[in-house]
Structure 1
Amino acid sequence: MVDKSEKFSALVRLGFFSRAILYSVLGLIALTSAGRISRGTNGIFEAIDDFPLGTAILWLMVVGLIAYALFRFASTAFDIENHGSDTTGWAHRIGHAGSAIGHLALAFSAYEFAISGRSDSGSAQEAASGILAIQFGGAVLGLLGIAFLVAAAFQARKGLTGSFMNRISSQAPRQTRLIGGIGYVARAVVFLVIGWSLVKVGFLSGGSHQVKTLGDSVASLAGQEIVFTLVAIGLLAFGLFSLVLARYRIIPDLGVHGKVPHFRA
């Protein structure tokens, strides 16, 4: 019989696997398909929809991205990864909250794309920006933007210091440190673009159409050729890194009462 900790771990690993698909596809289309990357979030899901069993993969990603978002919300609310409650700890946890909301928006986009199909694929961008812009007020969007900016700083720090290796099994491939470092720095750039777009909408009277999701933030860098190429390569690396995490990430166990997880050292 599978216990609750194993179910929790399986869902989190599915989340990392879904993230691996998302970032790998994003990096590939950024490097190979100018037309698709110009479509931002829609381009990602169009590419996935072209895969064999593409619709099934989209549904798998819906479940996985929601699971990953809930994992990050749990990190914020219950500190399941022992970041602590000091200023630095709360900065990490608030950054996780921003990541959770961003991945919920992507899950909603995948859901909208899966049920509507290619004929209505323009809804993916509206879905992603809508869950951010319609459900929250301007000030909350601005605060969410700050959370993304904080997360961007920590992503860059992780990439440069390699601190993320503390949460990965020693059995992981030896190239994990290099691939993860490159990926985190690239992801920091993307989070910076997303965060700044939310700050502008929330505090500087920007329109909701200016909210940038994952694909749109990468597309917005297309005019800066060297930066765009490096970020695209980095995001592809982050996709491969997420695949490693799906297998080797150390996942918190559920507590003795089966509710709040605790970090397994």
Structure 2
Amino acid sequence: MTDLTSYVPSPPPQWVENFARFGLTAKGVVYSLIGLLAFMAAFEIGGQSTDDTKRSGVLRTIQDLPAGDVLLGLTAVGLLCYAIWRFIQAIKDTEDKGSDAKGIARRLRYAFSGLVYGGFAFLAARMVLGDSSGGGTDSRETLTAKLLEQPFGQWLVGIVAVGTIAAGIYQIYYGFSEKYKKEVHTSRVQHEAELLLIRAGKLGYMARGIVWLLIGYLLLQAALKSRASEAGGNSDAFALLENSSYGSFILGAVALGLIFYGVFMFLRAKYQPIRS
């Protein structure tokens, strides 16, 4: 199997590589759990509902396991490591995106990802310390409410909605076109693992794109109706799928895709070259 890229990255400091691989593993755990909980909600297994797929619900699932506080603490550290790595990618331009408009946009995306997972890590840490008072709030709804209070607030929310929908479309394209394979040197992967990587990445990115499309749709409804309560996150997107025709099967398929996305994160943690 030929290598998918001729670029051989220079080795980063060991702590950066450790942060990246630990962070990718933690992200894999989170997405695998989101997919598992969504699948259980789709077919009403174990009394699960789409409400359990909120950030706090996923973290609480970890906390309810044996030695749950320890596991949740490790998850919090892993998510923080992932956030720091994303900031390093954005600031140092370790992925060679450049300083033109397209490159800056990609680096800002890394920074935004760092903020999102940093917030996730903060929530997990609070829950470990016994304070989950903020776990039930919907961050998108809160952000939407603040944007709607601004001048031209509906337009601002509409722009965010369109951006989210565009990101969802790109995620589906990214998965279908198999562009994600460049993130891992396949020359380091055994043939069986490479097949799993290709399939997991394709299904995972496409499922993630569908969820982003639905979140963008909810944001667009919030903009059009000027009601922050119309906005929502993963759990609201899953509820939309569940309430559609053949909803259980559609939600189940998307849930399996998110589990595959989690598996792809594990493969990235093992095989992805980390650049300095």
Question: Structure 2 length as normaliser, TM-score?
Answer: 0.74
User: What is the Cα deviation at residue 69 of structure 1?
Assistant: 2.6
Aligned residue-pair number = 247
User: What is the Cα deviation at residue 27 of structure 1?
Assistant: 1.0
User: What is the Cα deviation at residue 132 of structure 1?
Assistant: 4.3
Quick one: which of 233, 253, 256 aligns to 1:213?
233
Which residue identity lines up with residue 34 of structure 2 in the other structure?
Answer: L
Deviations 1:73-127 (A, max 9, x none): 443444321234455444534443443333233223323333336xx5x741317
Q: How does 1:65-144 map to 2 (within 5 A)?
A: 65-86=79-100, 88-116=102-130, 123-126=134-137, 128-129=139-140, 132=143, 144=160
Deviations 1:152-175 (A, max 9, x none): 233222201111111212223212
Q: Select between 79-88 and 133-142 the one with higher mean Cα deviation.
A: 133-142
Q: Which residue matches 2:59?
A: 45
Q: How does 1:182-261 map to 2 (within 5 A)?
A: 182-198=203-219, 201=222, 205-207=226-228, 209-224=229-244, 225=247, 226-253=249-276
Whole-angstrom CA distance in 2 between matches of 1:80 and 1:147: 25
Deviations 1:4-31 (A, max 9, x none): 7110111111111111111111111111
Quick one: which of 162, 165, 170 aligns to 2:181?
165
User: What is the Cα deviation at residue 204 of structure 1?
Assistant: 5.7
Q: Which residue matches 1:153?
A: 169
5+ long unaligned stretches in structure 2: 1-10
Quick one: which of 3, 18, 22 aligns to 1:10?
18
User: What is the Cα deviation at residue 211 of structure 1?
Assistant: 4.0
The CA RMSD measured in Å over matched residues stands at 3.2
Question: Structure 1 length as normaliser, TM-score?
Answer: 0.77
Give the direction of change, closer, same or farther, for the CA distance of 1:212–1:97 in structure 2 (3 Å limit). Answer: farther
Asked if 1 retains the 8 angstrom alpha-carbon contact of 2:34 and 2:53, the reply is no
Give the direction of change, closer, same or farther, for the CA distance of 1:27–1:197 in structure 2 (3 Å limit). Answer: same
